[in-house]
Structure 1
Amino acid sequence: MARTDNDTWDLASSVGSTATMVAAQRVLSTREGLIDDPYAEPLVRAVGLDFFVRALDGEVNLDDIDPRFNTRRAAEGMAVRTRHFDGLFADAARDGVRQAVILASGLDARAYRLPWPAGTTVFELDQPEVIAFKTQTLAQLGAEPTADRRALAVDLRDDWPKVLLDSGFDPTQPTAWIAEGLLIYLPPEAQDLLFDRIDELSAAGSRVACEHIPDVSMFADERSQEIAARLKAYGHDIEMGELIYHGERNDVVDYLSARGWDVTTQKMPDAYAANGFTFDESTTIGLFSDMSYLSAVKR
């Protein structure tokens, strides 16, 4: 279903289902010993989307969906992504940053699984149903946050800075921000607004990490459509081309640089190499060869 201005979702529908998809990939990466996210699997199973549960149970063969892809390659791709964002938080903590914000947190369990230094506050922002589900499910699992977790139920299209400030966020202190897997689901103007707000709320020494995808047309090309058709045969009905916003948007690197941030990027092939993996252009991951992982520090 195509996006609308005021659409909402839970973790089994629309954009929310992509958060469950990412968590399922984190399960594969954890099983391969590439990352450690013990909460991903119980969270995915609690959501209960049939395709992902069957995938975790070995009833979906990735080789049948794309012969050039397999479980190991899916696990490596998620390991590269997860390590990038984990690394942003680890570097910030090492440098004394004690305030973190996870935007569109979905099934992200970093507030529970990372070794946060004492005195760290982690703010999580997402749709009310998403926040409520994850908080309740983790509580039922007996999970305890490793930081002062403040879960904020707010739509990022609304005045989330006010909600953040009202919840004890201190804009005079440096902050570590991540916007993992978020930008493509925002209209171009909303992407600009997101970074305007981050910039306004960030003291010197703040960090931010996100993906930089210069061309989202990859989600609608012939190869992507072929894979989507194969996935539908297994009951997977996420249509990425309908969930993302197309059209030209400002370059994130230029946008942040112009606002006083020192930006570094690492293209996917280089990110794979840095993690000891081989980036195979002939596989599905080859669609993302121009994508970069971005991190920036505010001067």
Structure 2
Amino acid sequence: MNEYDQKAVVARNPIAAAAFYITNILLFPITLLGYVIWVGKILLAGGKSGASMTAQGPLSARWFEHNLGTREDEPANRLMMALSGVSPLGVRLAAGPMLLAQRLTGYVPKAFRYPFEGDVPPQYEASARIAFFDIAVDRHYADIDQFVILGAGFDTRAFRLPKDMRVKIFEVDMPKTQATKREMLAKAGIDLTGVTFVAADFEKDDWLARLVDAGFDPGKPTFFLWEGVIMYLDREAVLATLLKIASTVKGSAVAFDYFTTEPLDSRSLYWRYARATTNAAGEPLKFGIDSTPPSRERLAEMLASCGLSLVEQRTLGQETEGKRAWGGFAVAVVK
């Protein structure tokens, strides 16, 4: 049994799980204090910088996986502590009991196992999608000349990839979010060599034209990563983005996650809370794929209308007579 398999066995051990959660319960006051400090600084700094407030969630998931030893991501580890909206003390207090419990027991909570196991509940979507996109990037990277991260936020994927001068890497994001990220990357001492930053608003700017101005070649094979973005754009911007991707050379691909219309319309307590928090952050949920079962077919139809072909997809949520899927992960290619 290799080291990974040994860790996986421990991660599911009920005795280890019990010890893990008992430790966390006993130290909960420390965790609570940490989150109060952490969230308080996010709320204060988010408004000042103008950077996306929802961008920190995915970075936090990667930071936890790195520190729990399930997925190495040193750039995420360093960037997290450098962000102006993050209190290092708050993070250490909030995460400390969990990290200590993991060290003592070897148990890893489901949210931070890599790859994510089983059905994906909405609250774990940001963690579960990491492995899907890691696999998609690995599968296509050897066959592309360009890698474009759309709505990059605080993603550190570009800085984890091997330094390969053959592949040109671009990040496209909102001007204020990107400016904050570049400042914090420099503060964290992360090498930016090989990454070209392009500032654009998907709902207002022609991001592809700006990308071309920055050295992007639409005639070369490209992999576009569009993670945690589509649900925050209006329908016009979503379709326009897909059409722009489809205008690049045949065989180029895009990987993305999406919501259906269920999160936008559901009266469940969870989705009402999710909509309230994103509204409060100034980043409301705007777009969802038609949830009429099977939602995969609705997605494929939309992609086909834009000149793209669905090649891989995972539905999130059960599609039954009384339930509708709430989202999914997908990869599509230019026809």
C-alpha RMSD of the superposition: 3.6
Amino acid at match of 1:265: Q
Cα gap change, 1:141 to 1:71, in 2 (>3 Å): same
* Post-superposition offset of 1:181: 0.4
Pick the aligned partner of 2:75 from 25, 36, 39: 39
1:130-167, Cα deviation, whole Å (9 max, x unpaired): 2222222222332224x621011221221111111111
Residue identity (%): 24
Deviates more, 1:183-192 or 1:243-252: 243-252
Q: CA separation in 2, counterparts of 1:167 and 1:38?
A: 28
Matched residue, 2:139: 91
Which residue in the other structure is 1:12 paired with? Answer: 46
Relative contact order: is structure 1 or structure 2 higher (C-alpha 8 Å, sep ≥ 6)? 1
- TM norm structure 1: 0.73
| Residue in structure 2 matched with residue 243 of structure 1 by the alignment | 283
Gaps of 5+ in 2: 1-43, 99-106, 114-123, 291-297
Residues 118/50 of structure 1: CA separation in 2 closer, same or farther (3 Å cut): closer
Deviation for aligned residue 1:20: 1.0
SS in structure 2 opposite 1:191?
A: helix
Matched, 1:198 2:245: yes
Counterpart code for 2:260: P
Q: Give the number of aligned pairs.
A: 258
Shift of 1:93: 1.6
Q: Which shifted more, 211-220 or 181-190? A: 211-220
> Would the aligned equivalents of 2:168 and 2:194 in 1 still touch at CA under 8 Å?
yes
Aligned partner of 1:139 in structure 2 is 186
Kept in 1: contact 2:145–2:168 (CA 8 A): yes
Counterparts of 1:288 and 1:220, CA distance in 2:
10
Question: Which residue of 23, 42, 61 corresponds with 2:59?
Answer: 23
Take 1:220 and 1:264, find their aligned partners in 2: how far apart are those partners?
27
Q: Residues 113-152 of structure 1: matches in 2 within 5 Å?
A: 113-115=160-162, 117-145=164-192, 148-152=194-198
CA contact (8 A) 1:219 1:241 kept: no
Distance (whole Å) between structure 2 residues aligned to residue 212 and residue 124 of structure 1:
20
The structure-2 alpha-carbon separation of the partners of 1:238 and 1:42, relative to structure 1 and needing over 3 Å to count, comes to: farther
Shift of 1:176: 0.2
User: Contact 1:184–1:245 at 8 Å: present in 2 too?
Assistant: yes
Give the C-alpha shift of residue 213 in structure 1.
1.9
The residue aligned with 1:265 is 313
Aligned pair 1:207/2:253, yes or no? Answer: yes
Tell me, yes or no, if structure 1 residue 293 matches structure 2 residue 329: yes
**1:154 match:** 200
- Secondary structure in 2 matching 1:143: coil
Instruction: Specify whether residues 182 and 256 from structure 1 end up closer, same or farther in structure 2 by C-alpha distance, changes over 3 A only.
Output: same
> Superposition pairs for residues 156-175 of structure 1, below 5 Å?
156-157=202-203, 158-175=205-222
CA distance in 1, matches of 2:201, 2:84: 23
C-alpha separation between the residues in 2 aligned to 1:197 and 1:220? 31
Task: Name the TM-score, length of structure 2 as normaliser.
Answer: 0.65
2:26 corresponds to which residue?
none
